[in-house]
Structure 1
């Protein structure tokens, strides 16, 4: 893990040096001024990161559901024994803070919690429940800025602590003749993430904007032995702000994001999001993100398909 982190740091430093003096523009970055490119005031997305290095505070609260989730159970010969069906719900709460350092640099941190559980007894037995705590740290550096666009590089580190309730494993252990004292009802795990990011935004005109985010990194799992896995993401998001042309303080965002390898829980989150935003004030933005998610449920290739809704608010200082 140490050598991989050093590689990511070296990669980002090379990108920062490549940015050189082209990144310097002396416009006012306070109160959301940096997110104004080509007359377009860029909005927010939790899944497609923006390239801005302004001082900002973010808060979100949300929920998601996976309907008609199914899991098949087979005997040792591979024959289907039965199928458990049920629905699952997710709840999330989090906040983050980013501080700009001059015109080009920013450092930030965020913390969030996620709880997942089945909505009925079958779903709970089938997939259990879990609670995640996420902590992230990042450094960003503006590489290039023009009137219409901005490119930023960064490195980020993440820590996830997970508590998993596993009634299915508990029951299977007893059925196989295991003792009650050693039956696994609760499991805990930790993982660390390091990645390098590139973030880009471009304004076609005051109404339309586009941004993209790409990341490459690794996840190290602590499950009795250290396991190192690749973790890569790409995302693209388009924006329409009706305030500039029609004097209506309302904006829309539509984006798609993909994580890969797609068959692992740590890296495989993918989906499509639609955002509805109030754009009447430059110093803050508030809105609702909703959409569809694809989440690997385990490393066997099974997936959970669900919908989500998140209320976001971001303040710029």
Structure 2
């Protein structure tokens, strides 16, 4: 299953004819809030300062691109003193070598989204055993570990069924759902789209998400406050598309049960407000979802 990503939808444009005209698409959906790494620069070096055996192990793994070594380092609590520059627009810089190893995995996964990227790397990261410990990061009381995992999993679950299955079986759905009310806008948006990636792979996953109150969580994201680290129109568009994907089948048919839940959660007035946006794609997408939901108001 899968619909167009935020960028694909903006590039393709829309006729405004409603969701019934929407064509299924096999392209990936990655969070607009999940990006931010300068992959060309990170491919050369990561400027950080730390003393100890684990930093030496990280440097060696970095030189050889040793995925298994990065995974083994995820458990490291060796402190990082500082970075030469900020690594991500909204996620905290890693404070330990373990979080840094997770960040490197996220960078590698994000590079796979680019035209020249190694598409196999996402599978390789899973095979190296990264997904369960990254999901465990979501349980941490260390914000840098949580945010590293959110960013990494947003890339790893995009258009990669085996990774989605591994993340779901590790408990990512329940843990990610707790983060969609985060005070950090990027974390909220990336968590929501990771959840969308998971739910679109299996109706069982989507049903579980809905049972846990996921529709309300997605509706809540339709009217979030702008954040200077993110393009607000892109965040709004992604929030609308996430809700649309959740209440429609792959061929654009509205799922009555989920549509009614969205209406009950207050989606209609929020979508009507989004119709006032200055961004054409936000307006068009909001109108499509509104048209689908109004039959159940």
The TM-score normalised by the length of structure 2 is 0.21
Query: Greater share of strand residues, 1 or 2?
Result: 1
Judging by fraction of residues, say which structure has more helix. 2
Greater gyration radius: 1
Please give the TM-score of this superposition, normalised by the length of structure 1.
Answer: 0.20
